Structure 1
Amino acid sequence: MRYEKGHKEQTRQRIVEAASERFRADGIDAVGVVSLMNDVGLTQGGFYNHFGSKEDLVRECIAVGSNAAMERFAIRVAASADEPWRALIDLYLSTMHRDHPEHGCMAAALSGEMGRRPASTREVFTEGYEEMLDLIGSTLPQDIAAARRRTLAIAVMSSMVGSMSLARAVADPALSEDILALGRRSSVELVEAERAAA
């Protein structure tokens, strides 16, 4: 059977998109190659026409998923004329982001697993994390000194990822909402304290 030009690339893209969502929603170790390939209507053997190993797929998914989430956040933040940093915090620590990890930030979905992945996978994760820090830093108030923007971005990112991870982990819906609300407040207070000290 002959396929149209570009068929292999399209198939690879389908695998990456499906895996990226599944990894964020279910965790990397919970997603097997067989079930993933079933999701996209292909056989397990077909997987190895595209990837040398599951870890190769994981690395590509982290890169692609990080870029896609960053673009979504950047578009929404760009639509906010006033205090884009606050808009980013509100968007990140929203119930929508909590309830749809498959479309959200790789750090909130997978940071707990990254420490157990190979160094090459953690390097790809680190690149996505650095890009998110750059996005946060670009939204911060201009009166915050350039030398302090990166450390503040790290603090805000850590606050947001920790809050989101816990909001997803607890079984009590009211507690989850409280964690999101307090995470938003704590993240905002980090920025406001830095502004006050400037």
Structure 2
Amino acid sequence: MRNTLIVLILVLTSNLAEAQFIKEKSINAQIGYGISVPYNSIDDIADDGFFAQGELVLKIKSWVEIRPYAGFISTSSNGKDLNNNPTNEKAETKAFLLGGKVRVRAPIPWVAPYFELGMGASIGKFETFTAFDNIEKSGIDYHIPFAIGLELGKENNVDLGFTYYFQPNVKQFVGAFALGITFPLNN
């Protein structure tokens, strides 16, 4: 299953990059404040860390883009909940993220809102310890990326948004408040 998913992502990415319906190509680099949160917990916890991601932006129309991505997220627990009370619960992730998303955006100069949805794989180590779940897993697992945000600037080349990766098998989601910059590629 793992090898099939990786091969499928590589084939789709390589074939789409040369497709005739692609109007423009660019690279988007994002960096941000990462978080991981368990699906079920007694305490309100959100473990924090670092997020970075790169995307190949394949513009089909002014309002829709295909975005194969590769990224990294690392979060760790400080032993406290959101109210600064001690807790034994945690949701930690150290993983590489691979996959593809579709972005639908309002083609407006200066401020263009967007929405993204896709499918991908997380490769790394995942720990979810709560009163309801005791999960410690290493390896590859699927995730569902979801994002909302704004593209800013005259050419919409600055990206400010919230990006999340729902990981059902480890009962947590990871995400980030991220800032990105898009660089056009010459054809």
Settle same-fold status: TM greater than 0.5: no
Structure number with greater Rg is: 1
TM-score per shorter chain, which class? under 0.3
TM-score by length of 2: 0.24
More helix by share: 1
**TM-score computed with the length of structure 1 as normaliser:** 0.23
